[in-house]
Amino acid sequence: MKTYFIKMAAAILAAGAVSGPAIAQEQPIALSGDVMVEKTVVDEAGISTIERVEPDVVVPGDRLIFSTDYSNSGSEAVTDFVVTNPLPSAVRLASDADAGLAVSVDGGASWGILAALTVAADDGSVRPATHADVTHVRWTLAEVAPGERGRVEYPAIIR
């Protein structure tokens, strides 16, 4: 059982860190991704805090933060830069993710906010999409100035 969770952690790390920022325009923008797990830590005084740490072993229910850092190494501003991150199949978008986040529930074919999307139910009817249906998240950066750096991220839960 422990081996399974270690392999799952390795697969999630590979998906997030290597292919997380998989789709972006050809521009002087550099992208790099990482995945952190949120852990509750209790200090000697009994005070709980949440820390982000590198995942070693993850289990269903663990909360991960997938992040993409971007920077513009060019001499001109880049406008309407789009970063698209596929969600690894082992995770679902966390229910407290930004409600205004652009998401896809059909593999990236169409986009919208989750509250406006629907999916086909098993019986052929249509139902509102849920966080578990999200396949991709996307950000459109209006402008990335020369030398500018930033980070976009989304929370996910291990299925």
pLDDT tens track, the chain, 159 positions: 333 343 444 444 444 433 334 444 556 999 999 999 999 989 999 999 999 999 989 999 999 999 999 999 999 999 999 999 999 999 999 999 999 999 999 999 999 999 999 999 989 999 999 999 999 999 999 999 999 999 999 999 999
* CATH classification at residue 37: 2.60.40
Name the token pair of 94: 């966390």
Cβ pair 16, 87 in contact under 8 A: no
d(CA 20, CA 35): 9
Domain count, the chain: 1
| CA dihedral sign, ordered 80, 86, 131, 155 | negative
Domain region containing 90: 2-158
Residue 28 has a CB neighbour count (10 Å cut-off) of: 13
What pLDDT shows up at residue 13?
47
d(CA 156, CA 85): 12
What pLDDT shows up at residue 26?
58
d(CA 115, CA 25): 27
The Cα-based distances of 98 to 35, 54, 114, 139 in angstroms read 18, 23, 10, 11
d(CA 13, CA 65): 11
